[in-house]
A and B are shown apart, each in its own frame.
Chain A
Amino acid sequence: MSTATPIKVDTSRPGIPLSRIVKVELRKMFDTRSGFWLMMSIGIVAILATASVIAFAPDSAIQYGSFGTAVGVPFALLLPIIAILSVTGEWSQRTGLVTFTLLPHRGQVVWAKAIVSVVVAVVSMLLAFAIGAVGNVLGAAINGLDPVWDLDLGQFLAIILANVLGVLVGFMLGILVRNSAAAIVAYVAYAYILPGLLGFLAATQSWFDDIRNWIDFNNAQGPLFDGSLTGEQWAQLGTSGLIWFVIPMAIGVRFVLRSEVK
């Protein structure tokens, strides 16, 4: 019924650069009331944690490391949740229908979200360290002490790395489950229940204790924060990371790339 001459789209025209998608994804983290307050909670939690160290810690504990620890505990949950929601929102709010229509190369969207999650985590940690530093000075002044700076650069980077790894695991769970509540529960189970279970298993079953370092990702990460790793420890980080991060991430990404968006 049609005799119209076919018009061809010029496929060599420039597509959408990743940098632009990163910018858009960053904006999408802030542009709803719930998203905005989730991001604000990073600063609020850091200030609350810092204030409680000043209020409740004994004089001997008024040192920079205490502030770092106080902020680290809530951040270990908060930052992965932010990463999870950036992914699962596309499904729970069904915005994926528009996102993946404008950006049919879904891998780009996954990359952009991963980059934004890591950037937000690192910036949040730097902000928290800055708030902690102010708290340390303030706490020392209030208690008439000299501020103690007991964190060296290595420890500082190790704390950031630990949080980034947590964010990546959260991100992976978001990609794998694509449901906000389920992904958060899975992360809590991974971060808080699994280590205890594996520890119990290792304590009661010697065969597991022998291979634990090869399959327990949390355990294998331990040496990372102490500084130098032996060749075997790198290999253990590799095998356990393969089990707990690389393989589930690959499964999740494959699904996201191929699944039907409704």
Chain B
Amino acid sequence: MITVKNLSKTYGSFRAVDDVSFTCRPGAVTGFLGPNGAGKSTTMRIIAGLTLPDAGEAHVSGVRYSDVPNPGTQIGVLLDASAQHAGRSGREILTIGALTMGLPMSRVDEMLELVSLTPEESKRKVRNYSLGMRQRLGIAHALLGDPKILMLDEPANGLDPAGIHWMRSLLREYANRGGTVLLSSHLLHEVQIIADELIVIGNGKIVAQGTKDELLASAGTFVRATDPSALASALTSAGISATPSGEGGLRTDATPEQVGAAALQGQVALVELRAAEGAGLEELFLELTASTQREAVTPEGANA
């Protein structure tokens, strides 16, 4: 279990982490979602004792990380798969980890096999690894000490779709055996695939947290008409506030029944009317991303 309480960290005048509290429970994969620079990595470094917080505390199974004896055997951490000496082979990196933790060398081969790095690949220098291979090596390193808790920063970054599904089943099994998993991502769909619970962070603050089902369900209605302005005025005259969503659609907190009645009243022909699954989360996330986005949002290539 990972418990974070009122954590804050400021760099100069920049508040990277702002009063963040959450709990990751055993048996679940918790996704830590937020745009780049939202404070995910800083929070994770604080949990792993690499960064001192200005306020608040982070506990791993009830104690501070630095008080965990031989921490690699309790909590497996992957913070940056590329932070390795490029001149070491993957096998050597795992060997150093196993020696440090005092593990039998057989763990090295077991972990290489678990993450599907072949014996030949494991002898190659890490500088010749793709990002996906580095991530697999990093996950192998995190699992080396057979820990009960896993904390992975952007582990799916660089993995191909097959790799992401491989990781999902790996983490799923791990959580089903009672393990605790905290993994971060800046991509909503990635987290949707892998996580059971979500913590959404933006500008250093937690903006939403709960189970994936809760967050994806709490969405309201999505509605679309051939004449969007007529629809908008129909909703307004029915006292329903709505915001533009997607291509020519509107999203509102009202129920589909209320929206349908309003459309009938205003004599607007609808093209689409449905419960907006996940749209709430998606829009929340887009809003977060937009405020930290460096480029203006343009219709084309906005997803690049």
Contact = CB atoms under 8 A, between A and B. Distances in A.
A167 to B, nearest CB: 22
B96 A24 contact: yes
Contact of A8 (B24, B63, B79, B80): B63
A31 B96 contact: yes
B89 to A, nearest CB: 9
A197 interface: no
A21 interface: yes
A3 B26 CA distance: 10
Interface in B8-56: 23-27, 45, 48-52
Interface stretch (A52-60, A74-82, A94-102, A188-196): A94-102
Contact of A14 (B66, B69, B87): B69
A153 interface: no
Contacts of B93: 98
Q: Interface size for chain A: under 10, 10 to 19, 20 to 34, or 35 or more residues?
A: 35 or more
Contact of A24 (B49, B72, B100): B100
A93 interface: yes
Interface residues of B, number: 50
Contacts, number: 125
B61 A31 contact: no
B86 A93 contact: yes
Contact of A11 (B48, B63, B85): B63
B50 A261 contact: yes
Nearest to A23: B99
**Highest count of chain B CB atoms <10 Å: which of A2, A6, A9, A105:** A9
Contacts of B271: none
A97 B50 contact: yes
Given A1-B23, A1-B197, A21-B100, A93 B72 contact: no
Interface of A: 1-4, 6-16, 20-21, 23-24, 27-28, 31-35, 89, 93-95, 97-98, 100-105, 258, 260-262
6 contacts: A9-B74, A14-B69, A16-B100, A94-B84, A101-B49, A102-B71
